Amino acid sequence: MNLTNNTILITGGGSGIGRGLAEAFHALGNKVIIAGRRPDVLEKTTDANPGMACVTLDINDPTGIRSFAEEMIEFHPELNVVINNAGIARLENLKDHADSAKAEAIITTNVLGPIRLTAALLPHLLKQARATIINVTSGLGFVPFPVMPTYSATKAFLHSYTESLRFQLKDTAVEVLEIIPPYVQTELGGATQTTDPRAMPLQDFIAETMQIFKDQKTVENCVERAKPLRVAEATGSYDKAFAMLGQLVLDPSHL
């Protein structure tokens, strides 16, 4: 992926990892458009980054995604990079049947959202001289967090989907990359996660992620903090990693 002269769409770009990536790519001179459901959050980000654009998108609305894609292509015909970053996480008690509503919401946002947006924009991306699709997964896609079973499963799905998408597009000008974050200081797991010393500082994560992009050595952008989970199965440390995650406790107030 060329790191400059792109027009980049980032979903969930108003906060957390999405905002961090948006600001990093914006600083390199790319045209960046962030999308999300909260206009106030999006505008706060663009106000802090003159020249960055924002568009409201409900990633859970199939019809809205199609019209959003049409709007992107009409107003940003040079669009050539899509970063599927929007996602939600929820604690779940699988013994509580009422929790199935949480699971359905997570799947709609984390799985159907990227699938629908990719499908809507892919015909346009295939016409570009070069284009990139980047899916943001998680180390939890390789070793699940037991109290976030559906979230972990959606990230495992997205990793698998990304590999198949890459294979099917291998003879085109569209490259498919994956970002595999560890536990990062964002609000994904509640307000206390932003200062949790066990989590990787967001600025450090973004800096290392961008350096990996600059090195361009792999289709999987996996920082050092995420590698123990990524390789746990292959190195025989899966059971230990899974047990470690089973001992973690998060702030349930946000979830």
pLDDT tens for each residue of 116-126: 999 999 999 99
**What is the average pLDDT score of the chain?**
94
> Is the distance from CB of 44 to CB of 93 less than 8 angstroms?
no
Between 218 and 216, the more confident residue is 218
Q: What is the mean pLDDT of residues 109-113?
A: 98
Bigger pLDDT: 251 or 133?
133
pLDDT band at 254; cut points 50, 70, 90:
very low
> pLDDT higher for 216 or 108?
108
- State residue 194's pLDDT score: 85
Domain limits, the chain: 7-246
Reported as a single tens digit per residue, the pLDDT across 47-64 is 999 999 999 999 999 999
Q: How confident is the model at residue 96 (pLDDT cuts 50, 70, 90)?
A: confident
- Catalytic pick from 151, 161, 183, 238? 151
Is 151 known to be catalytic?
yes
pLDDT, tens digit, 9 for 90 and up, residues 151-206: 999 999 999 999 999 999 999 999 999 999 999 998 887 788 888 889 999 999 99
Q: What is the CATH number of domain 7-246?
A: 3.40.50.720
- Report DSSP letters for the chain, one per residue: --SSS-EEEEETTTSHHHHHHHHHHHHTT-EEEEEES-HHHHHHHHHHSTT-EEEE--TT-HHHHHHHHHHHHHH-TT--EEEE---------TT-GGGHHHHHHHHIIIIIHHHHHHHHHHHHHTTSSSEEEEEE--GGGTS--TTSHHHHHHHHHHHHHHHHHHHHTTTSSEEEEEEE--SBSSSTT-GGGGG-TTSBPHHHHHHHHHHHHHHT--SEEE-GGGHHHHTHHHHT-HHHHHHHHHT----TT--
Query: pTM for the complete prediction?
Result: 0.95
The residue-averaged pLDDT of 133-148 equals 97
Q: What is the pLDDT of residue 191?
A: 80
pLDDT surpasses 80 at 249 = no
